[in-house]
Structure 1
Amino acid sequence: MAGIEFKNVSFSYPNGFTANEQISFSIRPGERVAIIGQNGAGKTTAAKMMNGLYKPTLGTVLVDHMNTKDKTTAQIARLVGYVFQNPDEQIFNTTVTSEIEYMPRYFHLNSEEIKSRTQAVLALTELEDCKDMNPFDISYSIRKFVTIAAVLATKPRYTVWDEPTAGQDYKRIGILKKILNVLQAEGVAVIVITHDMDFVAETFDRIIVMANKHVIADGTPDAVFRQDHIVREASISQPQIGDISRRLQLDEPIIFRKDMVEFLKNRS
């Protein structure tokens, strides 16, 4: 079966520090998965093994049955696109359009296909108004969308996004959610590393929780956020609604906004 598979994977840096210890999970095309946990839990290290930026020290990472140890990062990038937390580490072209076109040109696509893909991702990310601008002349938060557009122009089967909501306002978070819906409809997996628990609860079907270099939980937002011991061990916060419901000492904690709305309607 196609997918990204981690089989008893461990990773140690050259200085001997171990960031991941025997983690196992699989992600299928079209899934929407959030990876959460405290700083230092090993989230980003695990994510960078998904597209070959890092190779496992022990165990195996497979992408559509392909062992990442046997392939270059460039080869794996055709399947797994990675959006860095800091867009300034990824952008190096002088216009938004040229940044988006770079990888399709690297893959030797024809000019019509490059044009078609560029127009499509500019529309999807709502970047048409700044397509001819230098990325470093636009705001940091919008530069994040430039890197998302550049990754999506390669049409990967899996995408990994590191902290996409950081620094984003309500409108831009809405655009992110729209992009996720489009990708899921197209069968593209989205794996997001984030500390934004409201975004997680409202947007994702599945959560992988990491703590102390291990995966400690894997399930739906409802299942994960109702387990107080998981929340404590991972040093994560509850979604805002969940925190409010606990402060109100409700018999059953409420995790999602829609459920709180329904609860308040029934109380009125």
Structure 2
Amino acid sequence: MAEPLLKFEEVSFAWAEASPLLQCMTLQIAPNECVALVGRNGAGKSTLFQLACGLLRPASGKVWLGSLDTAQARPPQLARQVSLMFQEAERQICRERVDAEVGFAPSLAGLSAEEVEQRVSMALSLTGLTGLAARHPMDLNAGERRMLSLASLIAQDTPLILLDEPTRDFDAPLLARFEAWMNMAREQGRAVLFISHDLDFIARHASRVLHLKAGRIEANGPAGQVLLHPDLQETGRMAAPTLPALCRSLNLPECRQLDAFAALWRSHVAAFPDGKP
């Protein structure tokens, strides 16, 4: 079994004189995993992210990035292990050209100019931003700026990737491109941990879901099970607005893609003599 890329060992965290935000949390994220982090506002999701990339240090317990103890590691060491997409892409942009922004992290890592150029070219191609390389990032629309933040992560080339509400601002074509990248990242052996309130997106991509409540892991398991948790939505036959929930309500085999559901539904309807279920 592969060693985890992220590991929390009984981690707790609290601001001074405040209630604990995370309490004795233990979790592991392995290569090839795509794990969703869900829960209501204030559950501890953002705090977990900041601990995972070393922006915060635990009050107790340990956070490991591979064999690296985040409390002891220096920022350049952390930057080689984990990358983070902010919920608001504008907050992590610091250069005046798109290509310079994408090459910022590789340049700080001390890579050669040739290697930086190769990474920038690849990242811009994957995100569809090649034609915008010379533009100022703030001249891009919201979806393009989010793609720019993704291109920067691709160029950073880390085994663990953290995404905070990654699908916001995307139209259908950009979302399709983003989802293609997510599939490729897993095929490359990377681990993706993302925060999202888009239950349909989670159902399509998450191999596992962690549901946080009051700084603790309330549920940990397959999306089809965890998304039914009553704290996330009302209980009932259609407990979650996802294709798996729809399939369950119709007594159909579970599927997660629209085209697969359409074919399944056509086959189901065709089985009735009058064409009506």
Per the normalisation by structure 1, the TM-score is: 0.90
Question: Are 1:144 and 2:146 an aligned pair?
Answer: yes
- Indicate the SS of the match to 1:115: helix
1:254, 1:260 within 8 Å by CA — same for their partners in 2? no
- Written as runs of structure 1 = structure 2, the 5 A alignment for 1:1-268 is 1-14=3-16, 16-225=18-227, 228=228, 230=229, 232-235=230-233, 238-242=240-244, 244=246, 249-251=249-251, 256=256, 257=258, 258-259=260-261, 261-268=263-270
Name the CA distance, whole Å, in 1 between partners of 2:160 and 2:135.
Answer: 28
Partner-residue secondary structure (3-state), 1:93: coil
Separation in structure 1 between the aligned mates of residue 171 and residue 241 of structure 2, nearest angstrom: 17
One-letter amino acid matched to 1:233: D
Which piece of structure 1 moves more, 95-104 or 201-210? Answer: 201-210
Query: For residues 191-244 of structure 1, what are the alpha-carbon distances to aligned partners after superposition, in whole Å with 9 as ceiling and x for unaligned?
Result: 11111111111122111111221111111112323xx4x2x1245872343565
How many residue pairs match? The answer is 262
SS state at 2:71 partner: helix
Q: Which amino acid aligns with 1:64?
A: G
Cα deviations across residues 65-103 of structure 1 (Å, max 9, x unaligned)? 211111134421210001111111100100000001111
How far is 1:113 from its partner?
A: 0.4
The alignment yields a C-alpha RMSD, in angstroms, of 2.1
One-letter amino acid matched to 1:6: F
Rounded Cα–Cα distance in structure 1 between residues aligned with 2:251 and 2:174:
35
Contact 1:207-1:219 at 8 Å conserved across structures: yes
Measured in 2, the distance between the counterparts of 1:47 and 1:253 equals: 35
Length-normalised TM-score, structure 2: 0.87
8 Å contact kept, 2:35–2:193: yes
Rounded to whole Å, the distance in 2 between the matches of 1:136 and 1:215 is 38
State which drifts further: 249-258 or 211-220: 249-258
Distance 1:92 1:62, change over 3 A: same
> SS of the counterpart of 1:132?
coil
Identical-pair percentage: 26
- Letter of the 1:89 partner, please give it: R
Classify the secondary structure of the residue corresponding to 1:233: coil
In 2 relative to 1, CA 185–245 (structure 1 residues): closer, same or farther, beyond 3 Å? Answer: closer
Gaps of 5+ in 2: 271-277
Matches of 1:29 and 1:242, distance apart in 2: 25
Q: Using the alignment, how far apart are the partners of 1:41 and 1:253 within structure 2?
A: 33
Going from structure 1 to structure 2, the CA distance change for 1:15 and 1:140 (only over 3 Å counts) comes to farther
Extract unaligned runs of 5+ from structure 1: none
SS at match of 1:60: strand
CA contact under 8 A between 2:203 and 2:242: conserved in structure 1?
no
Counterpart residue identity of residue 109, structure 1: L
